[in-house]
Chain A
Amino acid sequence: MSEDIKLIVNGKRIDGRAFDELRNIRIEAGVLKNADGSCYLEMGRNKIMAAVYGPRKVQPRHLADPVKAIVRYRYNMAPFSVEERKRPGPDRRSVEISKVSREALESIIMTELFPRSSIDIFVEVLQADAGSRTACLNAASVALVDAGIPMRGIITSVAVAKVDGHIVLDPVKEEDNFGEADIPFAFFIRNGKIESIALLQMDGKLTKNELIEAVKLAKKGVMEIYKLQREAIMKKYIVEDVE
């Protein structure tokens, strides 16, 4: 960590954003023909494609659960998604991200409606900047809605970081690499209201009060993203209307 990199100058962040400002987000629902539901999402320089298949027959069969659908989530980085080519296939980081992301979505999917089936969520990181796991979850959530999967609400995700002593929303790469802490969140949102925490990780160093501030900032951020997720779905189905 080079101490000389200034991440905050005159109250602005390295990319000119305010502390509580998200990167640009673009969401498009229903972009793949094969998948039952899909979504393309950009969050800053993250470019994410998510697809949902299911509920469908479980392959291999012995994994089937007699009382509920199994949910599988695969977070995968394309080899060209980062500066230095990433070796294809799952590494330890991807395995962990896939696990906690799956758990977040599983907590709101009504799996009990589909015994012995699987709901498979595939998320490809085509280009990665910081916060790719949160971008992926946002895309996956839209793809699940697009697939018509029964859920208690929607999952919306954002990260918060501590950078040069400030708590900031939705960090970029430099802030993530040289910042003091990174906290990815995902919330269960129902009817436009944040109900509870679906994903929470953290690494770095924070006091309890800073952590509480981070939660507050994340909640503000996800409400903005939630609106964009909704709009993306609405847009797709209203466009279909006009045809």
Chain B
Amino acid sequence: MRSIVLPGDLIATNPKVAGHGTYIENGKVYAKFLGLLDKTDTQVRVIPLRGKYIPSAGDVVVGVVKEVTAHGWIVEINSPYEAFLPSTENPEYKPNKKLNEFLEVDDMIIAKIANIDPKMRATLTMKDRICRPIRFGRIVVINPARVPRVIGKKGSMIKLFKNELGVQVVVGQNGLIWLSGDRRKVNVVEEAIYIIEREAHTEGLTDRITEFIKRRKAENE
């Protein structure tokens, strides 16, 4: 089992191996927040157990339109920071039409963080295959710190849901997850996601989830 570390715990003495969730002082590498220690020969990092979503360029997020302005949409992304989607970054947008004809307050979208400035002002884009307005399907909310486990190693969990149940899953780094597929099968995925969230820092998770899905599939059939 990976060990739990607290802020300030010494986790390495070689600054070259310092990864995410660490800080360096006087050449020593310390944990920055509560998390699981992930140590390899070339890198140490701390996988957070708790914490808010802090936007970072390239992240896929699921958000809710909060306000329509003259030049775009202000989007709530389950973070201390709001994001802005300029009208020019929405491929559906056509000039000389009103912005709320495309996206209205409370509409949900899948978007990407295009850019984040030092004052933590995030700009979104929807110019990517994965991005879309959400007009059907279901949203599941989890602790953003658990997102990597829901995705799995190289997207293994997402593939599992797709292959075993035919449910399409888009995981927002901000802890909002979009599910689309047969209603009952979506239920199974939602339950599986809650198991992953709860047991994120335990071993053998993939096996347990595979087993869970098979069992529920058999029950449903």
The answer to whether B68 has its CB under 8 Å from any CB of chain A is no
Q: Given that A54-B52, A147-B50, A241-B202 are known contacts, is A152 also in contact with B7, CB under 8 Å in the complex?
A: yes
Interface size on A, residues (CB 8 A): 36
Q: Which 7 A-B pairs have the closest CB atoms?
A: A153-B8, A148-B51, A148-B50, A190-B8, A117-B80, A151-B7, A191-B10
* 14 intermolecular pairs with C-beta atoms under 8 Å apart: A67-B119, A116-B119, A145-B34, A148-B33, A148-B49, A151-B8, A152-B23, A153-B8, A154-B8, A190-B10, A190-B30, A191-B8, A233-B6, A233-B34
Main secondary structure of the interface of B (DSSP, over half): loop
Q: Across the interface, which residues of B come within 8 angstroms of A152, CB to CB?
A: 7-8, 23, 25, 30
Q: Could you tell me the distance between the alpha carbons of A37 and B52 in the complex, rounded to whole angstroms? A: 11
User: Which A111-126 residues have a C-beta within 8 angstroms of B?
Assistant: 113-117
Contacts of B63 in A (CB 8 A): none
Nearest-CB distance from B51 to chain A (Å)? 3
> Is B201 part of the contact surface with A, judged by Cβ < 8 Å?
yes
Could you give, for residues 1-33 of chain B, a 1 whenever the CB lies within 8 Å of some chain A CB and a 0 otherwise?
100101111100000000000010100001011
Q: In the bound complex, what is the Cα–Cα distance between A102 and B34 (angstroms)?
A: 20
What sequence of 0s and 1s flags, for each residue 192-207 of chain A, a beta carbon within 8 Å of any chain B beta carbon?
0000000000000000
A16 within 8 A of B: no
| B198 on the A face (CB < 8 A) | yes
Residues 72-115 of B contacting A (Cβ, < 8 Å): 80-82
Q: Is the CB of B4 within 8 A of A237?
A: yes
Q: Is B118 an interface residue (CB 8 A)?
A: yes
- Is B160 close to A, CB under 8 A? no
Instruction: Report if A147-B51 is in contact (Cβ < 8 Å); known contacts: A55-B80, A243-B198.
Output: yes
**Nearest CB of chain B from residue A179's CB, rounded to whole Å:** 33
Give Cα A149–Cα B51 distance, bound, in whole angstroms. Answer: 7
Complex: A91 Cα to B23 Cα, angstroms:
39
Determine how close the nearest CB of chain B comes to the CB of A145; give it in whole angstroms: 5
* Known A-B contacts A154-B7, A190-B30, A237-B4; A116 and B50 likewise in contact (beta carbons under 8 Å): no
Q: In the complex, A116 Cα to B199 Cα: how many Å?
A: 33
Mask for B180-221, Cβ within 8 A of A = 1, else 0? Answer: 000000000000000000110110000000000000000000
- Smallest beta-carbon distance A94→chain B, Å: 27
> Whole-angstrom distance between the alpha carbons of A238 and B4 in the complex?
9
Pair A237/B201 contact, Cβ less than 8 Å: yes
Number of interface residues of B (CB under 8 A): 31
B33 touches A54 (CB 8 A): no
CA distance A190 to B32 in the complex (A): 11
CB distance from B115 to the nearest CB of A (A): 15
By beta carbon, the residue of chain B nearest A55 is: B80
Let me know if B6 and A230 touch, CB within 8 A.
Answer: yes
Which residue in A115, A150, A238, A241 is a CB contact (below 8 Å) of B33? A150
Which residues of B are in contact with A by a Cβ distance under 8 Å?
Answer: 1, 4, 6-10, 23, 25, 30, 32-35, 48-52, 54, 80-82, 118-120, 145, 198-199, 201-202
In angstroms, Cα B83 to Cα A56, docked, is 14
Which of the residues A54, A145, A146, A243 comes within 8 Å of B199, measured between beta carbons?
A243
A191 to B6, CA, bound (A): 9
Does B119 lie within 8 Å of A148, measured CB to CB?
no
Across the interface, which residues of B come within 8 angstroms of A54, CB to CB?
52, 80
Q: How far is A238 from B34 in the complex, measured between Cα atoms in Å?
A: 13
Interface residues of A in 146-166 (CB under 8 A from B): 146-154
Query: 1/0 per position for A27-38, CB-CB distance to B under 8 A?
Result: 000000000110
Counting chain A CB atoms within 10 Å of each CB, the highest count among B25, B120, B198, B202 belongs to B120
The interface residues of chain A lying within 8 Å CB-to-CB of B33 are: 145, 148-151
Which of A67, A150, A154 has most chain B Cβ within 10 Å? Answer: A150
A66 CA to B54 CA, complexed, in Å: 16
A116 contact from B4, B52, B120, Cβ within 8 A = B120
Interchain CA distance A173-B23 in the complex, whole Å: 41
Give the chain A neighbours of B199 by CB distance below 8 A.
Answer: 241, 243
Alpha-carbon distance between A66 and B121 when the two chains are bound, in angstroms? 10
